[in-house]
Amino acid sequence: MSATRHALITGAGSGIGRAIALELARRGHVVSLAGRRAGPLEDVAGEIAASGGRSVVIDGFDVTDAAAIAAGCARAITASGDVAVLVNCAGEAPSAPFERTDAALWGRVIGINLTGTFLVTQALLPSIRKAGKGRIVNVASTAGLTGYAYVSAYCASKHGVVGLTRALALELARTDVTVNAVCPGFTDTPLLDGAVDTIVGKTGRTADEARASLARANPQGRLVTPQEVADAVLWLASEGAGAITGQAIAVAGGEVMAG
């Protein structure tokens, strides 16, 4: 498999998406950095350029807007050819008790995390097929494998992503396209900072105490790093992972053991 294949990553401006983009670029992929805001994407593009890699900024890429997705995908393909590797990483994880989770919050989380994954994948699948030996990797969560209190919309959306991954993997099993999910546990990203702020606000604990409480969910007693998730995605995107499809791989220090 050529090291110069085209990878498109949604939510590439920060956190796990940023780490994945940097790692794929470091390994020789030309990377389309997709996201809503240009600033963070341009920062990542600068990091890639500084290390000798190639990337294209695809801003205005709203995963809830089919027209924006179509336009962004067209820009990416025009710039760098058919997309061989798609990483769906855009996501949101607000917390609220179930009884205070209103329809607007529910719809927003499902729309970004689940429907967004569906829309982007459907838009790019013809290109992925044309590229050959295509790889689709969905960034789900351990919340897609188990339950957590106070994030019912997030859990539902990520369970949906895992289900979509498995269904599409079976549909494409006789092609050369694989479809997998990575399921990080609590990961040291800006998204986690929001959870920390919520804990601090509701419990009066310090930020360090809040982070430590989240780390205790991991049997290794620590937070996962974005690089560890990126490394798992890199493997799933590789030629050596051609027999791996329909899997939801926990990157969580043993928190969830799927069998």
SS3 label, residue 191: helix
Please tell me the distance from the alpha carbon of residue 207 to that of residue 196, in angstroms, as a whole number: 6
The whole-angstrom separation of Cα 248 and Cα 161 is: 10
The DSSP letter of residue 187 is B
Amino acid, res. 107: G
Q: Return d(Cα 107, Cα 114) in angstroms, integer.
A: 10
CB-CB neighbours of 126 under 10 Å = 13
Q: Which of 45, 115, 124, 154 is catalytic?
A: 154
Distances (CA, A) of 217 to 1, 126, 210, 220, 251: 38, 40, 12, 9, 13
Phi, psi angles (nearest 5°) of residue 250: -75, 130
Choose among 8, 111, 15, 14: nearest CA to 65. 111
Task: Specify whether 148 is catalytic.
Answer: no
Residue matched to tokens 């689940």: 114
What is the rounded CA–CA span in Å between residue 134 and residue 130?
8
Please check whether residue 181 is in contact with residue 162, taking contact to mean a CB–CB distance below 8 angstroms. yes
Which distant-in-sequence residues (6+ apart) come within 8 Å of 67 by Cβ?
A: none
Known catalytic residues are 154
